[in-house]
Amino acid sequence: MVESFRQKHERYFQIEGIDSPNKQVFAGFSTRHGGCSHSPFQSLNLGLHVNDETDKVIENRKRLAESIGTTLDQWIFADQVHDKEVQEVSKMDRGKGSISYNTGIMGTDGLYTKDPNTVLALGYADCVPIYFISKSHSIIGVVHAGWKGTVSGIAQEMISKWEKNEHVPASDIEAWIGPSIQQCCYEVDERVISHVEAILPEGSSKPYTQKSEGKYMLNLQMLNKQLLLQSGIREEHIHVTDHCTSCGVEDFFSHRKENGSTGRMLAFIMMKE
């Protein structure tokens, strides 16, 4: 499969081929470079909730926003809780969470919008970002899928909301699974695997291998792809990156690799008028 995430700037990787006929769609994933934060958040930490200096995080966010031709007051952030809540947002929500964590869209791990020039942003440090677009309906979205969100059904919730509320059939949705910790680096225990087994689509290949007694290497990207397929997205409409945030810690923050003391990247997506 062709890699969709290409580094276009020191501050971000951009998804290639995501444009729709009606709107230019700009989507990407930030790096750890080009910011002003100090260790252990060096340098482009974009998370306001990891005990970094607030003014430095805001400056980092402004730099990223400027890099993609926007201003920070066009961005919308969420208070992520590793669950499956998905909310529609609009131009009226621009600026929420941009300079204060507590003013974001609360208790939410997925955002979508039909409004142009509105940037959706979620934070990551190993969890799986999944980007959604319906080119024929001019609608975009993004979810934060750690293992808890994945087994709770965050990806399926986005698809369900679009089908029920926006009349967008799953067959018209395209999805990109972005940089995250890959199977090579993601060891989990029996408890996690029991949750995976409970939601694994019938007949699907196991998205994990056993490493030792009670220890497994989990492929969250593969599991999310299986769930997207089960929800009706066509296989040719699902794109999966090869970038591992743990292996690529020189470019990305990794909660697992850096023992929990690190910054956050952002997955971002917008439609431009």
- For residue 261, being part of any structural domain is answered with yes
In 3-state terms, what secondary structure has residue 261? coil
Q: Is the residue at 190 inside a domain?
A: no
pLDDT in tens, 224-252: 999 999 999 999 999 999 999 999 999 99
Cα gap 122→160, rounded to integer Å: 20
pLDDT of 273 over the 90 cut? no
Tell me the average pLDDT across 29-55. Answer: 98
**Per-residue model confidence as pLDDT tens digits over 67-125:** 999 999 999 999 999 999 999 999 999 999 999 999 999 999 999 999 999 999 999 99
pLDDT for residue 22: 72
Tally of domains within the chain: 1
Q: What's 176's domain CATH number? A: 3.60.140.10
Predicted model pTM: 0.98
* Residue 193 falls inside a structural domain: no
Judge whether residue 20 has pLDDT over 80. Answer: no
**What's the CA gap between 227 and 200, in Å, rounded?**
8
- 239: CB partners within 8 A, 6+ apart: 1, 4, 15, 174, 175, 176, 177
In a domain, 145, yes or no: yes
Q: How confident is the model at residue 23 (pLDDT cuts 50, 70, 90)?
A: confident
- pLDDT confidence band for 1 (50 / 70 / 90): confident
Q: Is residue 196 part of a domain?
A: no
- Give domain status of residue 90, yes or no: yes
**DSSP collapsed to 3 states, 142-179:** EEEECHHHHHHCHHHHHHHHHHHHCCCCHHHCEEEECC
Q: Is residue 188 part of a domain?
A: no
Domain that holds residue 243: 5-180+221-272
How does the average pLDDT of the chain come out, rounded? 97
Domain presence at residue 79? yes
CA distance 37 to 155: 32
Measure the CA angle with vertex 123, ends 30 and 265; round to 5°. Answer: 25
